[in-house]
C-alpha cells in the first residue's frame, strides 16, 4: 500500500487513559462512542471502516469503496505509529459476496507482500444503504 495518504483523510490522535485513539472525524464516532482505531501497547485495532469519500458520498464501484476504506485504515494505523506491513488481520463485510473478486483484487494489490489473515463475509446491509463494504483491521507494531 502506498504510504501517501490522500490529503482529504484527516486523523486526529488523543490519549485516553492508557491508550491512544484515532478519530477520522466521522459524525458517528461521538454518537456511538467509538474510535476509528485504538492502540494499546503494541496492538492496534481498527473499527469497521466504510469507503466513504470526503464529500460524504460513496463511489458506485465496490473496488473504489474497498480502496478508500483501506486508505482510511492505513491512515489510522499510521497515525498511531504503525505501518501497513504491521497489519496482521482484515475482516471484510460485503453486501454482495458474488462481487468478491473486485474486493480481492484491491486487497491483493494492497497486501500482496504482507499477506494478513483475512475473512470476507456477506451481510444483509450496512448502516448506510450506499455502503457496499466495511473493513476491520488489526495490527501489531514491533
Beta-strand pair 37-40/19-23 = antiparallel
For 4, list phi and psi in degrees, rounded to 5: -90, 105
Q: Give the list of residues 6+ apart from residue 33 with CB closer than 8 angstroms, or none.
A: none
Could you give the domains of the chain? 12-140 (3.30.1330.40)
Residues 13-65: tens digit of each pLDDT: 999 888 999 999 888 888 999 999 999 999 999 999 999 999 999 999 999 99
Residues 63-115: tens digit of each pLDDT: 999 999 999 999 999 999 999 999 999 999 999 999 999 999 999 999 999 99
Amino acid at each position: 500500500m502506498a504510504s501517501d495518504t490522500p490529503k482529504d483523510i484527516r486523523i486526529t490522535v488523543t490519549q485516553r487513559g492508557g491508550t491512544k485513539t484515532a478519530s477520522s472525524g466521522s459524525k458517528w464516532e461521538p454518537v456511538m462512542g467509538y474510535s476509528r482505531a485504538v492502540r494499546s501497547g503494541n496492538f492496534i485495532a481498527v473499527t469497521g471502516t466504510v469507503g466513504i469519500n470526503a464529500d460524504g458520498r460513496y463511489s458506485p464501484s465496490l473496488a473504489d469503496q474497498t480502496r478508500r476504506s483501506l486508505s482510511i485504515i492505513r491512515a489510522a494505523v499510521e497515525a498511531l505509529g504503525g505501518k501497513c506491513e504491521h497489519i496482521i488481520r482484515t475482516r471484510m463485510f460485503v453486501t454482495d459476496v458474488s462481487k468478491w473478486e473486485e474486493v480481492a483484487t484491491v486487497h491483493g494489490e494492497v497486501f500482496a507482500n504482507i499477506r494478513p489473515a483475512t475473512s470476507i463475509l456477506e451481510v444483509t446491509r450496512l448502516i448506510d444503504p450506499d455502503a457496499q463494504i466495511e473493513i476491520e483491521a488489526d495490527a501489531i507494531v514491533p
